[in-house]
Structure 1
């Protein structure tokens, strides 16, 4: 009787396992701290788009002051307050400074970014020479956060659990052995359910969102599908390593670089821009657009999320086709009979 075949690979020795733990754990912690803490510690304005409205002669001194501030702001000129308000509602700028005969006035959009709104208000106050609350210039919040989330903290906090939910859905579908058409149906159905449940909680119960209910559900579902499908697709081709890469894109990189808690232009370059091409960043931007800005500036994040979802679903479909083709070949090929058995 021949000896049984040797197992594929061998377990790591206790000594090597100990070394691996002592090396990998600090590396993982260091990477997590870099990804989450470093952007927060380096939060600062970097070419944040704002408007400047008023007659050219009156706005020139303000323009000079903003220019001397370095690259903090990307200033867009508007002839009057009405144009500046329209630009804010279209999500072209985060806010604006309006020069009036009585002094500067701040137009903010706390729904776009409470942090940028506060920054703009502080900037206008400093320009007006005020320091106390009584000396602050007038401020008009053009697109305000909803009453259920006046500081925007609930909205920004929701990004991480939604990302984890997308990764969990893709992981479960892979681990439960769903493949091909069943996996595709499960991914789309799970994403739709995530969107419905999340909208019910955030819009109907907590009143964190304030736009069209079904548009918000669609945005949340698309975000979930982008994450779950890419995780499931990579896992079907790469095994558990694909799950790790998906978690890396969604949680370890996508969430801290999404700019949901501040704004992409407040993060160190180029990570704020990179974050908008990952599902959490694109999902946050899309949800802001449909919830607070009547869908303005939603095209780019919707296309990015659709691209991720299409890529993930394609991987799942190709894997299912490959498995069916392999099974068909095995069932139709003639059985090999050794010569000694003839």
Structure 2
């Protein structure tokens, strides 16, 4: 009889196998979500400005399209000053200035990967310009070869000396997502009552924004720009990630916690464009990622740090919409349940 009781306490073999298969599937999804963007990354339609005489612009476009098929989407501007303004407002990643003194303008603060790509284009452009000059001189019967023409590469908006490779800025964005998610989950578990969770999210986001900005900007030097604007951006990003979690918990119970790992971490974070520009992601996922808190936060923090002339309205609105939406869900959940306790039996007893 004792042997029978001991056997009955064992987990059924079918359940053990099912659990193993489910965990393997979860791990596969996680690996796929995080590896997919880098494995499939390929530049397409990167906005780059170009200016110069019409015949040179046409020739340069054709040569670059041959060198980098589909990678560049050119925007013609009036002159070098207009190209610099477009880079500083983050309308384009860089520019090509053609004429007697050809130049390639880049912005390592916008994207180090694109800056390196533009460096390669500058090398090819220099070879082409000098080959054309030599051919023209030979056709004209010039006794000596023309002087070598250098294509200068200028970094219009460089990264800060405290973060010369941009690793600090990029690395800081994942803890921001993780911090918002952990905050939302912890508040959902530890705090009973939807409106109390609203207060907890507000306090956590405000204090977390101060603490993270102090570390990332004051200590590590990964963030630049106005300190208090960065505090506001990080606080709003934390709220935009944490509030939807607590809001869905208020409506659906502890199952709502899955909003954090599934939506924010597995779906939105890989397509956020934090590590690579959104133009490197398969269409339309780069643009889709900007509608979620990780993508909006990545864009906003970078632009506040290095591009004060950029229009940051969209990422501010995206983060605000997610934060307010999550808080509204909590309020709705408060009135749908007794006293704001989520419809879990154990939570109702605890309330």
Map 1:96-135 to 2 at 5 A. 96-102=95-101, 104-129=102-127
Question: 1:77 — aligned with what?
Answer: 76
Question: 1:323 — aligned with what?
Answer: 337
Q: Aligned-residue CA RMSD in angstroms?
A: 2.1
1:23 to 16, 21, 27: 21
1:183 to 171, 191, 197: 197
Distance in structure 1 (CA, Å) of the matches to 2:255 and 2:312: 32
Question: 1:332 — aligned with what?
Answer: none
Deviations 1:169-226 (CA, angstroms, capped at 9, x unpaired): 1111111134233221211111111111111011111111110000111111111000
Map 1:137-148 to 2 at 5 A. 137-148=151-162
User: Would the aligned equivalents of 1:160 and 1:251 in 2 still touch at CA under 8 Å?
Assistant: no
How far has the Cα of 1:83 moved from its partner? 0.3
User: Would the aligned equivalents of 1:106 and 1:139 in 2 still touch at CA under 8 Å?
Assistant: yes
Question: 2:92 — aligned with what?
Answer: 93
Deviations 1:143-190 (CA, angstroms, capped at 9, x unpaired): 111111111111111111111110111111111134233221211111
1:259 to 253, 273, 281: 273
Bigger drift between 183-192 and 241-250 goes to: 241-250
2:318 to 277, 280, 304: 304
Question: 2:306 — aligned with what?
Answer: 292
Distance in structure 1 (CA, Å) of the matches to 2:11 and 2:284: 42
Shift of the 311–59 alpha-carbon distance from structure 1 to 2, 3 Å rule, reads same
User: Would the aligned equivalents of 2:194 and 2:250 in 1 still touch at CA under 8 Å?
Assistant: no
Deviations 1:121-163 (CA, angstroms, capped at 9, x unpaired): 1112122229xxx997311111111111111111111111111
Map 1:43-82 to 2 at 5 A. 43-68=41-66, 69-82=68-81
Q: Secondary structure at the match of 1:223?
A: helix
Q: Secondary structure at the match of 1:34?
A: helix
Distance in structure 2 (CA, Å) of the matches to 1:271 and 1:113: 18
Distance in structure 2 (CA, Å) of the matches to 1:72 and 1:240: 45
Shift of the 107–128 alpha-carbon distance from structure 1 to 2, 3 Å rule, reads same
User: Would the aligned equivalents of 2:293 and 2:318 in 1 still touch at CA under 8 Å?
Assistant: yes
Distance in structure 2 (CA, Å) of the matches to 1:177 and 1:57: 67
Q: Does 1:226 align with 2:240?
A: yes
Shift of the 18–295 alpha-carbon distance from structure 1 to 2, 3 Å rule, reads farther
Q: Unaligned regions of 5+ residues in structure 2, if any?
A: 1-8, 129-147, 342-351
Bigger drift between 266-275 and 221-230 goes to: 266-275
Q: Secondary structure at the match of 2:103?
A: strand
Q: Secondary structure at the match of 1:209?
A: coil
What TM-score, normalized to structure 1? 0.86
What TM-score, normalized to structure 2? 0.84
User: Would the aligned equivalents of 2:45 and 2:71 in 1 still touch at CA under 8 Å?
Assistant: yes
How far has the Cα of 1:257 moved from its partner? 1.1
Distance in structure 1 (CA, Å) of the matches to 2:339 and 2:281: 47
Q: Secondary structure at the match of 2:55?
A: helix
The number of aligned residues is 313
